[in-house]
Each structure stands twice: as C-alpha cells, then as structure tokens.
Chains A and B, each alone.
Chain A
Amino acid sequence: MLGILFIVLIAIWLVRNFIDSPQEFINVALIGLTTGSVYALVALGYTLVYGILQLINFAHGDVFALSGLISSSIMIDVLHLSGDEAVIVVIGGLVLTLLMTMGFGSTINASVELIGYRRLRSQPRLTMLISAVGMSFIVQNIGLAIYGVNFRSSPDLIPSRPAFTIGEVSLGWNKLTIVLITIPVLVLLTWLVRSTKQGKAMRATAQDQDAAAMMGINVNRTISFTFLLAGGLAGAAGVLFLLQFNMRYDTGFELGLIAFTAAVLGGIGNLAGATLGGLLIGFIQAFNEGLTIWSLGSDWTRTIVFGILIAILVFRPEGLLGERTPEGA
C-alpha cells in the first residue's frame, strides 16, 4: 500500500518534469542509462560471488576502481592513445584496453579470493565477511600506492558529437559506445552461465558445494572461475566509468556500495535482477541530480540510494526479481 503510494508519487514527479521540458528529461534519462550500465556491470560481479559463496565481496568495488586506474595507464602510457588517430585505431585501442583491463580485473579478483577467502570457507560466515572488509582496504591502498591521491581521466577518445538525432534529442557517440560495449558483455555472460558446462558447474556449486564435489565438479576451480568472471566485469566497468568520469583510488568504495544496492534491489544472486537494479539506480541518480523540479539534488543522492537499500531489505529482502527464501533474507 505504502509502496504503491510511493511509486505513484515518483511517477507524478517524473511526469511533471517530462511535461516541463521533454528534451532535458530525455537527456537526463540517457545519462542515467550510461551510469546505470556501469552499475549493472559492477552489480553483476556482486551477484555472481554472492550466488556462489553467500559472501558480500566488499573488495569488488575496489577491484573495479583499481582496474579503471590501470586502464588509464594502458590507454595513455602503453598504447599512447590521444583521440587524434584514425577511427579504426581508436576502436582497436579501445578494444585492446578493454580486454587487457578485464584480464587485470580477473587476476586481481581471483587473487583476492585465493588469499583472503579460500582458507576461510569452512569457517563461520562472519569470518569471511570481515576478511572481505579488510581485503577492500588492501586493494584500495594498492591503488593509492600506485596512483596517489590524484584523479585520473582518460584521453578524449570518443567524440561527444551526436551519433544520430531524433527531433531535438541527440545521442552522443560517447554514450552510445557505453551501451554498445555493455550489451555484448551481458549477452556473453548470460550465455556463459546458462549454456556452458562451466556455467552449469557454477550453478551446481552455488546450490550445494558438497554434492557438486561428489558429482566430480572441481569446486575450488569453479569458485575461482566465478571470481575471474566477476573481476572481468569489474574491469569492463572500470574502463566504461573512466571514459565518462574521473576516478581515483577510493572511487570504488562508494560506487561499490551503490552497485551492491543495485544487486540487492534486483534480487541478489539473480543476473537479470542485477542488470535491472543497476539501470534503475542509474536512472534514480540521474533524475535526482539532473531534473530541476522537486528534486533533492546531488547532496542527497547517497541518502536516497541507501534509503532504498534499507527499504528493500526490510520490506522485500528477496528483491524485485528474486524468489522468497525460507530465511527471509
């Protein structure tokens, strides 16, 4: 009842803003779509790991940030991209950066699991969770040690001139690229988990580790694979984030929390849910910060996001797309 009222109020707010200036509304929504894509990619990493280990991998956000920083080095110092090259070179460089960063993210994330979590798997669950908090700070400080406290940004690789224009609304190349990278990654991931043997092993391990081991599944390798996958997604998200914003060593902490909220919003452990949640949070943030009428502004974004997190956990802990479990949480 309260929920319906809330949704109606939000709808009124959005419609009011839309009527006021439709062009601005759509532009803001596009910003929401691009930030939402990044959130979705990071949220997927949380969901994958939670699904298999029932662990909130606090270090995940920091793996994302470290990968993003590394990708700036790859673009600038390794590939010497500046944005003035021919289109084909820029595209090639971008793909190469993406692949290298994904590899880096995978390696870091799998190492985190190997060092911080593997030995604790038979321990009480809280032990692993606390270890994850510690790991988060360690990864963050690696970024601090390499890059210091300054913000890094990417060279101007993708022009923001419109790719195409409908009426007065135009979609810039930079935003289009984000979406163009995100979609294949999502499709690939879904295929991996749904249709491959390794994906089947992952699902089996998530359900019952002992039974999976008895069926001949290498549990350690499967868990490592999950962390590799999650780290790769974090790496991709890092590149995409860097193409839009500046980032530094501690960017990952807050973004990680927001992405985790997205994963919980969609239903943790659920891949489609994480994507949906990421996009929703992206829209909420963009609308709150971009719209001019009756919005609270960026000062309150964090409060709103965590308010949503708490409300979801209290009223619908299984999330939007999740199934209700007997534990209630």
Chain B
Amino acid sequence: MATEGAASVGVRGRLAHALRLDELGRGWRRLPGRARALIPGLVLLTIAALYPLYVESLPSVPVIQEFPSVSTAVIMIVFVMMAVGLNIVVGYAGLLDLGYVAFYAVGAYTAGWLASGHFQQVKIHFGSAGISTDLQGIHINMWIVLLLAGMLTGIAGILIGLPTLRLRGDYLAIVTLGFGEIIPQFVRNADSLAGFNLTAGTFGINPIDSPGFGEGLNSAIGLPVNFQQSFEKVNLFYWSALALLLITIFCSVRLRDSRLGRAWIAIREDETAAAAMGVPLMRTKTWAYALGAFFGGIAGAFYASFKGGAFPSEFFFNISVFLLCMVILGGMGSVWGVVVAGAILAYLNQEGLANIGGYINDETPLEFEVTKYTFGIYGAIIVLMMLFRPQGLIPERRRASEIEEGVHEGDTLYGERHS
C-alpha cells in the first residue's frame, strides 16, 4: 500500500514537473488579483466566441445528442439577454413582472416599423447598410433601430409603470400580467385601426432588415455590408448577439453596484425603511422598469431581425413565465446565475427537450412526449425551486442572507408575511 502511494505521488510529481505545473501555479499566484479574476472570463469568452468555428466538429454526446447549432445559440443568447433585463426588475428591485413579453413585443414591432417595407406609403432611408434605396418603406440602419427600440420600449415601460407602481406586490404582478395580455392582442388586432394598418394583424411584419455595416466600413476594415447577403449570416448574428449580451451584462452589473442599484436593493429588502432613508420610491421603481424594458426591447428587436419578422403568435404569457423561470432558477438578482440558467433553459426549450425526449423514447420502453409537457416541466421547476432552494442555483450573496435570516418584519413584498 505504502509503496503504491509513493509511486503515485512520484508519478504525479513527475507529471507536474514535466508540464511545469508548479511553476505555472506560482506564476498564477504572482498575478495581480484583478487579472486573476479576469482570465477565466476571457477564456470562457474565447470559447464562446469561437463556438461557430468548431461546433461542427464536436462529437455527439449521449442523452442530449448534439451540441446546440449556431442558430439555437443565437436564440439562447437573445433569451438570456431578456432574462438579464427581467432580472433588473424582479431580481434587483423586487417587482414581480408577469408581463415581460410585452416589452419583447414592443421591441420586435419597433424593428418591424423602422426597418422593413411595412409602411409602403413612405420611403425613408437612413444609414442604410447594403439595402437598395429604391425600396419603399422605412429602412433605418439596424444598429440604430436596436437603440431606438430599446428607448421606445423603455418609454413603454415607464408608461406602464407610472400608474401601476404605486400598487404593492401581487397587484403589480396582476397588472403587468394584464398588460402582457393586452399588448399581444392589440398587435394581433391592429391591422385596421380606423383603416390604418399598424401591425399587419396575424400575418406579422416581414421581412425585417438585417444589420450590417454598409459599403464604407466594408471597404475600410472588411466588416460585412449586410448580414443577409453574407454566406455566414448565422455566425455574424451569433457574434453580434454575443457582443450585445456582453454589453447587457456589463451594464447590468454596473447598474447593480451603482447608487440606483443600491436603492433598488434597499427597496427590495424593505420599502418602508428605504423610503424613510430618503430613497424616492416611485422614481427608483420606474427606473427599474424602464431599464429592464430597455434590454427587453433591444433583445426583441434583435430577435425579430434575426428571424426576419415580428409575428403576434409568439407573444404569449408562456414566454413571460419562461423568462421568470430563468431568473428564479439562476437566483433572483444574481446576474451570472441568470445567464447560466437562461442559457440552459433556452437550450432545453429550443433543442434539448426534443433531443432528451427522443432519447427517452428510443432507449427506454417509456413513451413520453417531453416537448408536449414543456411548461409543466417549467412549472415543476418553479415550484421545486421555491420549496427547496428559493435563492436559486447560483445565489447572490446578499439575497441568500435575506432568505435565510429574513429581513425587516413588515408587510412589504419581501418582508416576512404579516400574520
């Protein structure tokens, strides 16, 4: 036994020596703390950024079979963006929003209005990237449209928020749910508002332009003129989605640590105490709504551009619950938790559940259509998380302590229930 152990130590030692692991470790420890925190992120980012280049050569794994395709990855990133946006409202500020899909819809339709041939009556082109100027309709450069969509959705968020944020807790949830139901029905029916075709009804607005950089940047530094005309369209969408997601995460983290973010957390923990400390409740909550909506709008517009259309059949309450499920699973308020949980759930929704279902039906005697019960599964996830791990898989430190120790005993949404 003893010799065996010595031998294994010897082997390990030799191996470590051969790979110069000990020197590497020493060098690693000598790095400043900031760099040490940064390097894993950079490695992950590199792996993510190169994903389209090596996904084809990845082996298939048991149970889930194939790795997600690049277009699935784009959708995953879009949903993660929305979840990060929702996390601002639900996680940071503690306002339960059950109608987030409304912001997605507003974003998608803004893209439809400002970057397609929907308004045949006019011909407006601005900063257009590789889109023929002969086309009727409004064609604004998609990058600008994304920003405009974010701002318009933010304004929509403020408009929804102003009258309703006065209400506390569960009433707010119901009102947002109401808006989440009204807006999709509105876009479905608004194909003849006093004879004016605003949303093209059930057909939806399509095609929507793709982003691009135009001729000038193309000849200068080789950026693609327009994604639509490129051979690697999906990859281009993937990389821009990744860039947008990074910006979103960066903003989200910076917001959390800002004065505004601390005010949100104060409100979440105890509204009354926060107000007594001089936090302006209405303004702070409205900001949470507007900023959460902003990212939802950008993600919605980008998604519409990726799919080339905005269709009313996509905006259902289910999407709101799906996003909420991501936030809960990851841990309310925890950005990284939400990113991980969002990626997993969006993958499951797009490909994973179908693959797993196929595996179950092929390999076991069970006959079970997993995809049919998608939302039942999400429901079960939500309930189980609430029962056994309400702080989420990767909890935010502060939130975990709130749940364990409880906060001020008041009748606030997050306070212990008055009894």
Contact = CB atoms under 8 A, between A and B. Distances in A.
Asked whether A and B interact, the reply is: yes
Interface of A: 54-56, 115-116, 119-131, 133-138, 140-142, 144-145, 208-210, 253, 257, 260-261, 264, 299-300, 302-303, 306-307, 309-310, 313-314, 317, 327-329
Contact of A124 (B185, B186, B415): B415
B341 to A, nearest CB: 14
Contact of B169 (A119, A120, A122, A126): A126
A122 B168 contact: no
Contacts of B387: 116, 119-120, 131
Contacts of A141: 373, 375-376, 379
6 contacts: A54-B170, A122-B416, A123-B386, A133-B379, A135-B383, A309-B175
B72 to A, nearest CB: 23
A260 B382 contact: no
Interface in B300-324: 317, 321, 324
Interface in B171-185: 171, 173-175, 177-179, 181-182, 185
Interface in B378-419: 378-383, 386-387, 390, 403, 411, 413-417, 419
B390 A310 contact: no
Interface stretch (B6-14, B121-129, B159-167): B159-167
Given A123-B417, A129-B96, A328 B383 contact: no
A136 B379 contact: yes
A320 to B, nearest CB: 16
Contact of A56 (B94, B173, B189, B379): B173
Nearest to B164: A314
B146 interface: no
Interface residues of B, number: 48
B283 interface: no
Given A131-B386, A133-B382, A140-B375, A125 B171 contact: no
Most buried by A among B177, B189, B416, B419: B419
Given A126-B169, A302-B181, A134 B386 contact: yes
A310 B170 contact: no
A208 to B, nearest CB: 7
Given A144-B372, A264-B174, A327-B168, A126 B380 contact: no
Most buried by A among B167, B170, B185: B170
A180 to B, nearest CB: 33
Most buried by B among A116, A128, A137, A313: A137
A126 B414 contact: yes
A260 B181 CA distance: 14
Contact of B375 (A54, A137, A303, A314): A137
B98 interface: yes
A130 B94 contact: no
Contacts of B390: 123, 127
A127 B177 CA distance: 17
Given A116-B383, A141-B373, A253-B317, A328 B182 contact: no
B328 interface: yes
Interface residue SS majority, chain B: helix
Interface of B: 94, 96, 98, 163-164, 166-171, 173-175, 177-179, 181-182, 185-186, 188-189, 317, 321, 324, 328, 372-373, 375-376, 378-383, 386-387, 390, 403, 411, 413-417, 419
A313 B380 contact: no
A226 B372 CA distance: 33
A56 B170 contact: yes
Given A54-B170, A126-B413, A307 B324 contact: no
Contacts of A144: 372-373, 376
Nearest to B169: A125
Nearest to A121: B417
A129 B173 contact: yes
Nearest to A309: B178
Given A253-B317, A264-B174, A303-B185, A327 B411 contact: yes
Contacts of A145: 373, 376
B190 to A, nearest CB: 10
B414 A124 contact: yes
B182 A303 contact: yes
B181 A257 contact: yes
Contact of B178 (A121, A126, A310, A329): A310
Nearest to B380: A138
Contact of A329 (B96, B163, B168, B419): B168
A158 B71 CA distance: 54
B324 A129 contact: no
A213 to B, nearest CB: 9
Contact of B379 (A54, A55, A135, A257): A135
A327 B412 CA distance: 10
Nearest to B382: A134
A56 B174 contact: yes
A126 B96 contact: yes
Most buried by B among A115, A119, A133: A133
Given A135-B379, A137-B380, A317-B171, 8 more contacts: A116-B383, A125-B413, A129-B96, A257-B181, A264-B174, A303-B186, A310-B164, A310-B175
A130 B417 contact: no
A133 B98 CA distance: 10
A135 B382 CA distance: 8
A298 to B, nearest CB: 10
Contacts of B324: 130, 133
Nearest to B417: A125
A307 B317 CA distance: 17
Contacts of A124: 403, 413-417
Contacts of A142: 376
Given A260-B174, A299-B189, A328-B167, A137 B376 contact: yes
A211 B223 CA distance: 71
Contacts of B328: 130
Contact of B163 (A55, A306, A314, A328): A314
Contacts of A329: 166-169, 171
B74 to A, nearest CB: 27
Q: Which 6 interchain pairs have the tightest Cβ spacing? A: A141-B376, A137-B379, A134-B382, A306-B178, A134-B383, A131-B386
A302 to B, nearest CB: 5
A88 to B, nearest CB: 42
A143 B343 CA distance: 29
